Amino acid sequence: MPGTAARLARVEGQRPNGLIPFITAGDPDLETTGELILALDRAGAAVLELGVPFSDPMADGPVIQRASERALKNRVSVSDCLALAGQARRECSLPIVLFSYLNPLLSFGLERLAEEMSESRIEGLLVTDLTPEESGAVTPAFRARGIDVIFLAAPTSTDDRLELISRAASGFIYAVSRTGVTGVQENLSEAARQLAGRIRRFSSLPVAVGFGVSRPEQVREVWQFADAAVVGSALVREIEQRRGQADLVKRVTDFFRWLKEGSEG
């Protein structure tokens, strides 16, 4: 298992160009999600965040909340997410991070989850409401199987907390560009740049910046000070707008390519 850090590692003398897409498993359906994973891999995704649908996604804005609602109407479960990821990993080498809230994972069982994630070759786990202070009983099962456990850092995090996050994290650290929930924004906060710099004082792990990235110029800006940009709500909004269209996968992938290639020029 190569791990997520290897895919986001900086190349000496070159600007980072990692772009991490987020999609919700089962939105609009599991088959389409599987096709999207393979298409995003071909389009140059560095890592993919696969969202587990949850009924109360407190950190997510309305776009991703609606995606979860659509997937839950399709009765998409944690088991479905694992099977989907496992099938995709048999067809591509794109590292997948399972993105979830803690409640559905506890209901599934953490030891069972770690075992099945390993069998599905899922490289990482990001639990939005799992704090490093409370992670001691959660992370050992995943670390023992070589699965990265990724934590969020916010602009409001103190230096003591950033140091704690750095000790607990593996794979990469997800720097939240602003306080609040996910969603498209016109301008990235200067706080994101400052946060990435502060994280580097405590950790050599790659830093990925998310929450609000939606245009090539924003991706380019993130690459100036971080190793990767995460695009979530903007991509999920494309999926929402293309529902029922035969070319959904192509249109969503074209949008991702526009973000990535438009940022590399």
From 49, 148, 227, 238, active-site residue: 49
Element (H, E) at 220: helix 216-223
**φ, ψ of residue 111 in degrees (nearest 5):** -65, -45
In this structure, the chain runs to a length of: 265
Answer whether 126's CB lies under 8 Å from 98's CB.
yes
Task: Tell how far CA 28 is from the center of its chain.
Answer: 18
- For 209, phi and psi rounded to 5 degrees? -110, 130
Whether 60 sits among the annotated catalytic residues: the reply is yes
Question: Is 49 tagged catalytic?
Answer: yes
Which H or E run contains 150?
Answer: strand 148-150
Of 27, 60, 123, 148, the catalytic one is 60
Q: Which residue, 226, 227, 214, 217, is CA-closest to 256?
A: 214
**Are the C-beta atoms of residues 222 and 190 closer than 8 Å to each other?**
no
Q: Which residues are catalytic?
A: 49, 60
